Amino acid sequence: MANSEPDKKPRPGPWPPAPDSAAMPPSSWAKRTGFRPKFSGETNASNSDQMTSLPPPQPSLPKPKQPDTSLDIEAGRPRPGPDSNGEAVARDRAKEKENAKELTPPVRKLRQSDGGKNLAANGGEGSRRAARGEEVVAVDVPHQSVLDDDDYVARHSHMKYELRDSPGLVPIGLYGFQHFLSMLGSLILIPLVIVPAMGGTYEDTADVVSTVLFISGVTTLLHVSFGSRLPLIQGPSFVYLAPALAIINSPEFLGLKGNNFKHIMKELQGAIIIGSAFQTFLGYSGLMAIFLRLINPVVVAPTIAAVGLSFYSYGFPRLGACIEIGVLQILLVVIFSLYLRKISILGHRVFLIYAVPLGLFITWCTSFLLTESGVYSYKGCDTNIPASNIISDHCRRHVSRMKYCRVDTNHALSASPWFRFPYPLQWGMPVFHLKMALVMCVVSVIAAVDSVSQSSLPPTAGVLSRGIGLEGLTSILAGVWGTGTGSTTLTENVHTIAVTKMGSRRAVQLGACVLIVLSLVGKVGGFIASIPEVMVAALLCFMWAMLTALGLSNLRYSEAGSSRNIIIVGLSLFLSLSVPAYFQQYGLSPNSNLSVPSYFQPYIVASHGPIATTSGGVNYVVNTLLSLHMVIAFLVALILDNTVPGSKQERGVYVWSEAEAARREADVCKDYQLPFRVGTIFRWVKWVGL
């Protein structure tokens, strides 16, 4: 008998394989590209052409046929026949194998690189597909896109508050103020550079700072409500700083007498308005969404990195005017942001979030104590006397330390009124010149590319175009009010949200309202304008280094170890430094007396560049654009990345979600749809609606 001879029993068969280990949830750009890292257990690259469209129903697999000699494990004897229990056991095992392959670990995901499968929120019957004739119901699942220390990842537990959460007025107010305070450097440092370069006084600097705060608050409200609808702060971008300095140092402005500030500001306003109008057209016409098919992480990384590297000639040379204060400022920010970054107080990483404000406060207090103790006071020398009128050699040797190390030489705070309302055209009617407008048109394209790279979810083409178009409109507002730069999404947003774990758009909206109120207090602008220039230069060294690192970090969404990508990025970065250096040094003799400081020398290339045609406008545009580091990096990377063969995973190709599939996802609709049912009006517009 089979029961008495267990040695002759055939084996019941192998046990079903264990389920695969959970793959690491891809971050935002991986969602767009379909990138699957090899260390996640998935070695095959996914087809990035399949994103969010729901897969068609697939027929169930045929039941596996078992041999007639299959055993009943419980009874221990063979039971032949199609209806035997042995075949039922085999069918159960086959189902277990199929479920082990289909079921995923209970990690919440939203539109991953799985071809668009709508996985269940709780990891249960996630692989069940709707049968024919069965109605597909969209379930309102909370938004799963959250942040870790680097970027958005799909883990709900990592986020304190999601995009649509409203935890209450007090928490929202505190988080909103914290969000804007942590980005203080990005908001206020650009006016502290360009206004003195235009010949403006401390009072002019205070007025421009107040205007920047006002416009940043207004444009942030507009974008969070009617643009991309993501909790991203709008403000003056470093992308606009280099072209603004190039326009400020144009040859026609070098011989101006009188109030140079208002005259140059009106020229700058005209260029910004035209360039922003061009960006608005690209956005709302849908042309930018088509152009961005050519933009990949391999293009974005060197372009944004070149923006930070381009100001190396301004940073430390400006800081060296008072070396002890400048170095102290850099050391404090580095210590707070690196060595003390993991210290948490009441659940907040205070030193990491407030590294810039804390470093500025301590350095300012130190400089104040040194000034009051007489360290920077020299017998017989007066800080109020212009350097050109100082006769004593003793005072001339110390004029730099008296001007840049002391904190009482700036009277912007005392001269500022308590209330001041920034109004449009406050500097006069803008002046429009075609050559300056063309420069800003090219820069606006790069600014749009920078902004798009910061989206958390893969948006539809309509949402993308809507955000870029509204960014152009808000930059027009910045030009009309006269901030000196366009308004774009600040690059540091992703880092700030990752640390604070606050993803609620209501916090950013309330913070923007607070920013508008602060802009009406003239003393706030005066206080910011009174920051010593050496401290500004030290903070800029840190901010530009951060910008460079954030740009290069985009390479992690492509195959950074690929020889193709290494050569493209390396060549783009090197040429972005070398080609502008050729244009900036062309025609200059070593002993020539320049009319601008040495740190502004790279921006006077329009007067001596190598391009010399019969058209002065063409000479100005070409010499200026080819002297900008970010333009060279963008052009080289764009051409090489789109002409050198490479797989989509290797390049990190962007893939935008499809509109119809996005409308079937409740989370996407609630995240991106316009409020107050405005979206229903624009649904028919392909490049504006969802």
- Name the average pLDDT for the chain: 75
The position carrying tokens 């537990």 is 157
DSSP category for residue 357: H
Interatomic CA distance for residues 194 and 409, integer angstroms = 19
- pLDDT given at position 45: 41
Is residue 331 scored above 90 in pLDDT?
yes
**Average pLDDT for 3-30:** 57
Is residue 143 within 8 Å of 671, Cβ to Cβ? Answer: yes
Is residue 467 scored above 90 in pLDDT?
no
Is residue 568 scored above 60 in pLDDT?
yes
Low-confidence winner among 267-281, 373-387, 619-633 (lowest mean pLDDT): 373-387
DSSP category for residue 418: S
- pLDDT given at position 180: 76
pLDDT tens digits for range 626-640: 999 999 999 999 999
**Average pLDDT for 390-417:** 75
- pLDDT given at position 391: 59
Interatomic CA distance for residues 690 and 684, integer angstroms = 9
Q: Grade residue 383 by pLDDT with cuts at 50, 70 and 90.
A: low
Is residue 201 scored above 50 in pLDDT?
yes
- pLDDT given at position 69: 46
- pLDDT given at position 500: 67
- pLDDT given at position 131: 42
Is residue 404 scored above 90 in pLDDT?
no
Is residue 171 scored above 50 in pLDDT?
yes
Is residue 608 scored above 70 in pLDDT?
yes
Is residue 196 within 8 Å of 173, Cβ to Cβ? Answer: no
% residues pLDDT > 90 (the chain): 24
Is residue 166 scored above 80 in pLDDT?
no
**Average pLDDT for 610-631:** 91
- pLDDT given at position 604: 85
Low-confidence winner among 8-12, 320-324, 666-670 (lowest mean pLDDT): 8-12
Low-confidence winner among 132-141, 399-408, 472-481 (lowest mean pLDDT): 132-141
Among 75-89, 600-614, 628-642, the range of highest mean pLDDT: 628-642
* Better-predicted residue by pLDDT, 574 or 123: 574
Among 68-77, 171-180, 468-477, 522-531, the range of highest mean pLDDT: 468-477
- pLDDT given at position 251: 84
Quickly list DSSP for 212-242. Answer: HHHHHHHHHHHHHHHSS-SS--EEE-GGGHH
pLDDT tens digits for range 536-556: 899 899 989 988 988 898 888
Interatomic CA distance for residues 152 and 501, integer angstroms = 10
Is residue 90 scored above 80 in pLDDT?
no
* Better-predicted residue by pLDDT, 490 or 132: 490
**In the structure, how many helices (H) and strands (E) does the chain have?**
29, 4
**Average pLDDT for 9-38:** 57
- In angstroms, what CA-CA distances link 366 with 319, 353, 360, 385, 439? 16, 22, 10, 25, 42
Low-confidence winner among 137-141, 533-537, 648-652 (lowest mean pLDDT): 137-141
Low-confidence winner among 51-65, 107-121, 386-400, 652-666 (lowest mean pLDDT): 107-121
Q: Is 443 helix (H, G, I), strand (E, B) or coil?
A: helix
Is residue 76 scored above 60 in pLDDT?
no
Task: Give pTM, 2 decimals.
Answer: 0.74
**Average pLDDT for 459-471:** 83
Is residue 475 scored above 90 in pLDDT?
yes
> Per the structure block, which two tokens stand in for 408?
């009482």
Interatomic CA distance for residues 541 and 444, integer angstroms = 24
pLDDT tens digits for range 276-317: 999 999 988 888 888 888 888 899 999 999 999 988 888 888
Is residue 188 scored above 90 in pLDDT?
no
- pLDDT given at position 561: 86
